[in-house]
Amino acid sequence: MKELKTAICPKCGQEYKGVPALSRMDGKTQICADCGTKESLDSIGISKAEQDEILAIIHKHFGTE
Ligand SMILES: [Zn+2]
């Protein structure tokens, strides 16, 4: 069984568990999965409002907070 580490995301300041995402900004900063998703969506031109909608759908289906 893998141990889930808790870390603070430097981007949103929230505590998260599990596998971090790598920030696209510098390629080495570890951020939470949500921020990783947001950066990806941002890079393909999705607006902030749409990003929040997509994240809400992801949370609904995968049960993460
Ligand atoms: Zn974050």
The answer, yes or no, to whether residue 64 has pLDDT greater than 60, is no
Note the pLDDT of residue 11. 95
Question: The pTM is what?
Answer: 0.80
Note the pLDDT of residue 18. 84
Provide the domain limits for residue 28: 6-62
C-alpha of residue 1 to centroid of ligand 1, in Å = 25
Chain CA centroid to CA 11, Å: 9
Q: What is the pLDDT of residues 8-54, one digit of tens each?
A: 999 999 999 888 999 999 999 999 999 999 999 999 999 999 999 99
The answer, yes or no, to whether residue 2 has pLDDT greater than 70, is no
For helices 48-62 and 33-43, the axis angle rounded to 10 degrees is 140
Tell me if 19 is assigned to some domain: yes
Tell me if 1 is assigned to some domain: no
Please report, as a single letter, which amino acid is at residue 41: L
Burial class of residue 41 in the structure, from the number of CB atoms within 10 Å of its CB (0-12 exposed, 13-18 middle, 19+ buried): middle
C-alpha of residue 62 to centroid of ligand 1, in Å = 17
Note the pLDDT of residue 65. 54
C-alpha of residue 8 to centroid of ligand 1, in Å = 8
